Amino acid sequence: MITYKEHSIIALDYIVIFIIFLYKICSFIKFVLSLCQIYCLYISRIMGKTTHRISYRQWGVVGAVAVVTIVLQLVFGDLPIEILSFPLNIILMALWVVGLLSLYKRRDRSSLAQFMLQPKATWLSLALMAIIGVILGVQVEPMTESWPVIAAILFILSHLTMVIMRGWRTGGGIRWRFSILHFGLWLALVAGFFGAPDRNQLRVLVVEELPTDTAYDMSGQMSRLDYPITLLDFYADYYDNGVPSTYRASISIEEEQHTLEVNKPLDRTWSETIYLISHGIDTASNKQYCILEVVNEPWQWLSTTGIVMLIGGAILLFVGGPRQGNRT
């Protein structure tokens, strides 16, 4: 049986390990911030522009936020974003926008607002976007619900929002190309970030000629669809070596027949898409079955609108070119 003294020694060991870990994290953050400072000074010299000395107080706040999010991740794990679903995500988004508007109005006397509007915040946003892209690309399980990734995306969105507030118009009027491009990017990112809690992903096992509306989410919880799905037939094409080249499933939804293929999903509604995931044969009944994935994204229309605006703004910038004597 472990004595009180041994418990104390074990607890002390854990405390020492945690302190060493925090020291290593702080050292790494200091190293990264130093690289950012050197990079910003280098870019400013290339562009022929003078730059203010980077405030270590501002970078200290950034580093502190990074440490806090890492600690939250280690202690509590991923953020359960499903608790932030509608209407809470709408309320939080409204409060976030109002808070940024208030911060922008106090930009002349707020060091935080000045930092968010400086080029170094842009470089930091670009660096965070690159890091997130690499992390999401190499991870088997995406870390989109981790505290550091959420904090990084929120910083990127906040910086973009304040840049739009500052640059959407000048004394000469509205900067249409700038506004369409940046607001489109803003819409696409906001829809992906604040709409994530409302995203619903279900798996459905459909056996041939047996209608079903039973589905399961990624955690294994059972759910019901608003409609039954029936597998009418299944087709598979094979290569010469016997490896399947493509799958096709003929299904019926509310007496309407549809054909699904791998990488060719069914857009049932503006927010709901059905994917063909897998297939097989039920040994008990000797009938074919397929596994479908039903993805419901209520914010998809907003994301699509943003992407269209982003592409349109980029085309306008390319066609129109830079304006002499005016910012575009």
Q: Are 26 and 115 part of one and the same domain?
A: yes
Residue 182 within a domain: no
- Please indicate, yes or no, whether residues 11 and 69 belong to a single structural domain of this protein: yes
The pLDDT profile of the chain, 328 residues, written as one tens digit per residue, is 445 555 556 656 666 666 666 666 556 555 555 555 555 554 445 444 444 444 566 677 777 888 888 888 888 888 888 889 999 999 999 999 999 999 999 999 888 898 899 888 998 898 898 888 887 776 655 567 899 999 999 999 999 999 999 999 988 889 999 999 999 999 999 999 999 999 999 999 999 989 999 999 988 899 999 999 999 998 888 788 877 778 889 999 988 999 999 888 999 998 999 999 988 887 777 888 999 999 999 999 999 999 999 999 999 988 876 665 444 4
Single out the residue of 204, 228, 207, 205 nearest to residue 287, CA to CA: 207
Q: Which domain holds residue 275?
A: 200-296
Could you give the count of Cα atoms lying within 13 Å of 135 in the half-sphere of its Cβ? 15
Residues 233 and 289 in one domain: yes
Domain final residue, candidates 143, 167, 191: 167
- Looking at residue 256, what is its pLDDT? 92
Decide if 328 is inside a domain: no
Residues 47 and 115 reside in one and the same domain = yes
Separation of alpha carbons 281 and 108, rounded Å? 68
- Whether residue 35 lies inside any domain: the answer is yes
- 82 and 145, same domain (yes or no): yes
State whether 152 and 17 are in the same domain: yes
Which of 223, 200, 201, 221 minimizes the C-alpha distance to 212? 223
Number of domains in the chain: 2
Residue 234 lies in a domain: yes
| Structural domain includes residue 277 | yes
Judge if 53 and 146 occupy the same domain: yes
- In this structure, the answer to whether residues 133 and 241 fall within a common structural domain is no
pTM across the whole model: 0.75
Residues 24 and 80 grouped into a single domain = yes
In a domain, 176, yes or no: no
pLDDT score of 133: 81
Is residue 158 in a domain?
yes
Are residue 128 and residue 276 in the same domain, yes or no?
no
* Per-residue pLDDT, 51: 42
Find out whether 46 and 38 touch, Cβ atoms under 8 Å: no
One domain, residues 237 and 108: no
pLDDT of the residue at 136:
73
Residues 207, 283 within the same domain = yes
**What is the 3-state secondary structure of 169-214?**
EECCEECHHHHHHHHHHHHHHHHHHHCHHHCEEEEEEEEECECEEE
Give pLDDT, residue 43: 46
Would 301 be classed as within a structural domain? no
